[in-house]
Structure 1
Amino acid sequence: MFSYRFMRMSMSDNLKGAKSISPDEVVTTISNPTGVTETLRVVPKSMETEMHMFGLMYAPTDDLTLMAMVPVLNKEMEHITYSGMMGVTVRGGFGTSSAGFGDIKLSGLIKLYESAMGNIHLNAGVSLPTGSITENDSVLPPNLMMDSMQLRMPYAMQLGSGTYDLLPGITYFSNVGRWSWGGQYMATIRVGENSENYTLGDQQQVSAWGGYRFMPGLSASVRLSFKDEDSVEGADDLISAPVQTANPDYYGGRFIDGVLGLNYVVQSGRLRGYRFGLEYTMPISQKVNGVQMAMDSMLTLGYQISF
């Protein structure tokens, strides 16, 4: 099976824990552990992430499916820069961006159990450090004597993890008549430290979903997802701008999302067997470590063909 997915995630505004915090509050109350200013002087306003995911699946036996996924990423972030060492005088705004290949993922789906009550599969995979972790861009500094300067972009703007990551999990799926349901546990376990002396946080995610088929080929689903993500361990010495995204402690948290999905499989004609999918993800609860931007929504479009 060949697959293609397009994902667009939008983020805006900022949270301190689970509560909103304004840019002025950030630069007057949040300390700057990486620079010479006492408090942060740059605040992110919004972030857009686009991902094109190309996938290939092959089943050498009925009980084993091999998968490879190659992501191409484009990230853009808008910021506000405040003047000087303190105060709430805005100097101006600027944007940064990064684009390129992300980390390639190789995995296997192993059937453990099959019955009329449902199927259970083991997920076993590894993520390869093919995405760049040394992306730079021009920024507008608080220093009024400088118009711009080149800096290493924060962890959120890099394209990969820089480490080999294990991807274990387990999936349950069942269906009766027009109804289907299932659950999944997936984890991302970082192995070692990357070349820039840090390790992204481990992740654990639990999902449960239910679906209904309205007619041959057309179905809808509802999914609930909980994710727990650790903060970054270690630090890249070149990531030192007075912005919250440069602080490795300000990553990760606990997130609950709701997802609505729609799938259509073409039933006849030249496109028979082609599958088209749409998912819309909305946050239900977000409790972040430190200060971070909040997710607004995520849209995913997918296409699959089996041969």
Structure 2
Amino acid sequence: MKYASLGAGALCAALLASPAYADGSYADDHAPIGVMGDHAHRKGEFMLSFRTMHMEMDGNRIGTDEVSPDTIVTTVPNRFAGMPGQPPTLRIVPTAMRSDMYMLGAMYAPSDVVTLMVMGNYVEKEMDLTTYMGGMGTNVRGTFQTNPKAFGDTKIAALVPLLGLPPKGAIDTDELTLKAGVSLPTGSTDETAQILTPMGDTPTMRVPYAMQAGTGTFDLEPALTYKGRRGAIGFGAQAAASIKLDENKWGYAFGDSYEATAWLSYRPAQWISFSGRVKARTTGRIQGIDPAIMGPVQTANPDFQGGDRVDLIGGVNLVAPHGALAGHRLGIELGVPVYQNLNGPQMAGDWMLTVGWQKAF
């Protein structure tokens, strides 16, 4: 696994460190690493963070039912049927997808009552597809892969601690943080790739919606996070949304999404905590259509986007006590979906891994 050396190295550093803390930091001062915007800072504090998120998808579903590629190409109508070169049913099926997102963030508190946050990201996506021969039937033409890479959208936000900031080093804490965020359309929405058509041609075309790095729209991204701790037990919950404000220059907008997550954590020592988290998310269909995204493949149909999903996620938070790594934090989370109801046919989630580093100054 590509992140194993990173996680193992940081874990060993934490394990070898002395448990004596000069600054009163605890591993569970922050939420699990996959929860964004969970805390504010004191006046003058500055924090840098870097996260990498790997996600894999495998197979397809319609609603909650798994469907095979042969079923898709013999039963699912092609939205573009009747146009030149377009068959009556889907003839290209995605079979697996991998995505890596690299996120660099910064936070600064000009006062105790507001913390400013900005985050940019770079996205790499890779999809495996099978092309069936033109017409009907289940004769395979061949396979191909698309691999777009580009910068994604930029997130900016203001975080307001509604209950104030807990005293440094406090064991029992309660925090309620309001996030007022906006996503700026800095990401690419015109990535292309070479494909294999049912007739055997290999043109270069714009990749479908989910393979683009950005949304192309301005989005409101509010969130409300409660986080508490009683002794060695931590707990918290967050409600968040992404609400599209307009269509992009191609004439479409991704569906709005609403997410809720809750977690429990246990801290056996000051420098380490373990967490379990459940996350539920609902996402709407794409509104509008990009005229350059067309073909006998499910990913080109705006109606085959979005749905409902529930994930179970386990994690660990580490913080170094002193020396060269003093104040450095490492978080790791590994998750799997336990429920998926997709507006399909659509690729199903398989598993995801998030590894992140944080350091306040």
Q: TM-score range by the shorter chain?
A: over 0.9
* Whole-Å separation in 1 of the counterparts to 2:256 and 2:297: 23
Matched, 1:124 2:180: yes
Q: Secondary structure at the match of 1:254?
A: strand
1:166-185 map, 5 Å? 166-185=220-239
Q: Tell me which residue corresponds to 1:220.
A: 274
Q: Tell me which residue corresponds to 2:163.
A: 113
Match of residue 307, structure 2, among 229, 235, 253: 253
Q: Secondary structure at the match of 2:135?
A: coil
Asked if the contact 1:119/1:173 (under 8 Å) is kept, the reply is yes
Asked if the contact 1:216/1:267 (under 8 Å) is kept, the reply is no
Q: Tell me which residue corresponds to 2:116.
A: 66
> What amino acid is aligned across from residue 89 of structure 1 in structure 2?
N
> What amino acid is aligned across from residue 119 of structure 1 in structure 2?
E
* Whole-Å separation in 2 of the counterparts to 1:63 and 1:259: 31
Q: Tell me which residue corresponds to 2:291.
A: 237
* Whole-Å separation in 2 of the counterparts to 1:3 and 1:290: 36
| TM value normalised by structure 1 | 0.97
* Whole-Å separation in 2 of the counterparts to 1:304 and 1:122: 20
> What amino acid is aligned across from residue 259 of structure 1 in structure 2?
I
> What amino acid is aligned across from residue 50 of structure 2 in structure 1?
Y
Once the 2 structures are TM-superposed, how far is the Cα of residue 21 of structure 1 from its aligned partner? 0.1
Q: Secondary structure at the match of 2:325?
A: coil
Q: Tell me which residue corresponds to 2:142.
A: 92
> What amino acid is aligned across from residue 243 of structure 2 in structure 1?
I
Matched, 1:265 2:315: no
Once the 2 structures are TM-superposed, how far is the Cα of residue 235 of structure 1 from its aligned partner? 0.3
Q: Provide the identity percentage.
A: 44
* Whole-Å separation in 1 of the counterparts to 2:256 and 2:208: 18
User: Greater strand share, 1 or 2?
Assistant: 1
* Whole-Å separation in 2 of the counterparts to 1:63 and 1:217: 28
* Whole-Å separation in 1 of the counterparts to 2:300 and 2:283: 17
1:191-206 map, 5 Å? 191-206=245-260
Asked if the contact 1:82/1:90 (under 8 Å) is kept, the reply is yes
Q: Secondary structure at the match of 1:44?
A: strand
Once the 2 structures are TM-superposed, how far is the Cα of residue 290 of structure 1 from its aligned partner? 2.1
Matched, 1:283 2:337: yes
Match of residue 154, structure 2, among 90, 104, 109: 104
Matched, 1:22 2:65: no
Once the 2 structures are TM-superposed, how far is the Cα of residue 84 of structure 1 from its aligned partner? 1.1
> What amino acid is aligned across from residue 32 of structure 1 in structure 2?
N
Q: Deviation above 3 Å: which 4+ runs of structure 1?
A: 114-117
Once the 2 structures are TM-superposed, how far is the Cα of residue 108 of structure 1 from its aligned partner? 1.2
> What amino acid is aligned across from residue 143 of structure 2 in structure 1?
G
Which runs of no fewer than 5 residues in structure 2 stay unpaired?
Answer: 1-46, 167-171
> What amino acid is aligned across from residue 132 of structure 2 in structure 1?
Y
Once the 2 structures are TM-superposed, how far is the Cα of residue 62 of structure 1 from its aligned partner? 1.8
> What amino acid is aligned across from residue 230 of structure 1 in structure 2?
G
> What amino acid is aligned across from residue 15 of structure 1 in structure 2?
R
Once the 2 structures are TM-superposed, how far is the Cα of residue 34 of structure 1 from its aligned partner? 2.0
Q: Secondary structure at the match of 2:275?
A: strand
Asked if the contact 1:185/1:207 (under 8 Å) is kept, the reply is yes
Q: Which stretch has the larger CA shift, 112-121 or 86-95?
A: 112-121
* Whole-Å separation in 1 of the counterparts to 2:113 and 2:333: 28
Once the 2 structures are TM-superposed, how far is the Cα of residue 175 of structure 1 from its aligned partner? 0.5
Once the 2 structures are TM-superposed, how far is the Cα of residue 72 of structure 1 from its aligned partner? 0.5
Matched, 1:39 2:85: no
* Whole-Å separation in 1 of the counterparts to 2:154 and 2:263: 27
Match of residue 215, structure 2, among 154, 161, 181: 161
Once the 2 structures are TM-superposed, how far is the Cα of residue 117 of structure 1 from its aligned partner? 6.5
Asked if the contact 1:221/1:261 (under 8 Å) is kept, the reply is yes
Asked if the contact 1:55/1:68 (under 8 Å) is kept, the reply is yes
Q: Secondary structure at the match of 1:289?
A: strand
Q: Secondary structure at the match of 1:60?
A: strand
Once the 2 structures are TM-superposed, how far is the Cα of residue 24 of structure 1 from its aligned partner? 0.2
1:126-141 map, 5 Å? 126-141=182-197
Q: Secondary structure at the match of 1:196?
A: coil
